[in-house]
Amino acid sequence: MLCIVVYGNHIYVANCGDSKAKLFRRGEFKGDSSKLIPIKISNLHNAGNFEEQKKLRAKFKNEKDIIVDKNTASYVKGRLQPTKTIGDLFLKHKKFNEPLEIQNETTLKYYRKFIPNFSGPYIDHFPEILTFELTGNDEFIVLGSDGLWDWLDGFEVAEILNKFCNDKSKMLHELSTKALFKASSKVGMNIEELKQIPISARRTVYDDISIILVDLKNQVAKSTKITS
């Protein structure tokens, strides 16, 4: 969950999970003052984040499986990537960590493997709250789920915002389309072929893509000096 409140010349960011937000400020970049610069305004709370790993390993020193690596991703107790979530009670409370009687293949597919010797909670739901001061040069905030940021970095997003700066609908369309294009290209498909895959199976190619665009133009009086 990622929540942003813009009030006056401040942004308040409350983040709990693996969505991310970036602020886009117009300023000097490689000699070009017309470019938008991405600024990080949230931290990632998942098991692949080194700081999150440090916290968990310090808290659960005797549990060697507190972080488990699978292929290119890391998981808390080998089960979940986020270290902060709303829900996922089986990693928070012992009473939800019960063995499940396997009825059929469908049940097995969605089975949350039992954790022996449970000593959690291993994750929590308390958001990290950060505050940032806006300048008159700040133009947009992009909030995106990991399906967006898995494929696009801040400068790629800034390039799209620059290109379609007067049409927010085109910005959003181009952001999602470019992420899908990169995901489909990696598996040797085009976007239309990717869309033919059942929704449940597409998760093996890309994660969900949710995007919110916040327009900050005229939120703060234009300044002649850019601060970061």
- Rounded (5°) CA angle 175-86-153: 25
- CA 45/CA 222 separation, integer angstroms: 34
- H helices within 152-207, ranges in order? 154-163, 168-186, 191-195, 199-202
Give the domain ranges of the chain: 2-40+135-215, 50-83+89-109
Taking the alpha carbons of 73, 181, 177, 180 in that order, is the dihedral positive or negative?
negative
Asked if the model's pLDDT at residue 144 lies above 90, the reply is yes
**Which of 64, 72, 223 lies closest to 135, judged by CA?**
223
**pLDDT of 174 higher than 50:** yes
204 against 10, higher pLDDT: 10
pLDDT number for residue 201: 80
CA atoms of 150 and 179, how far apart (whole Å): 8
Of residues 192 and 100, which shows the higher confidence score? Answer: 192
- Under the banding of pLDDT at 50, 70 and 90, the label for residue 224 is very low
**What was the pLDDT predicted at 169?**
95
Using 50, 70 and 90 to split pLDDT, how confident is the model at 30? low
Closest CA to 123 of 161, 149, 97: 97
Q: Residues 61-83: what's their mean pLDDT? A: 92
pTM: 0.83
> Is the pLDDT at 65 greater than 50, yes or no?
yes
pLDDT confidence of 27, banded at 50, 70, 90?
confident
Lowest mean pLDDT among 10-19, 85-94, 147-156, 193-202: 193-202
Distance between CA atoms of 12 and 109, rounded to whole angstroms? 39
Superfamily of domain 2-40+135-215: PPM-type phosphatase domain (3.60.40.10)
For CA atoms 46, 50, 51, 57, the dihedral sign is positive
> So what's the pLDDT on residue 100?
65
Of the two residues 30 and 174, the one the predictor is more confident about is 174
| Percentage of the residues of the chain whose pLDDT score is greater than 70 | 88
User: Which is more confidently placed, 203 or 70?
Assistant: 70
| Residue 88 scores a pLDDT above 70 | yes
Predicted pLDDT at 228? 41
Two tokens, residue 52: 């999150």
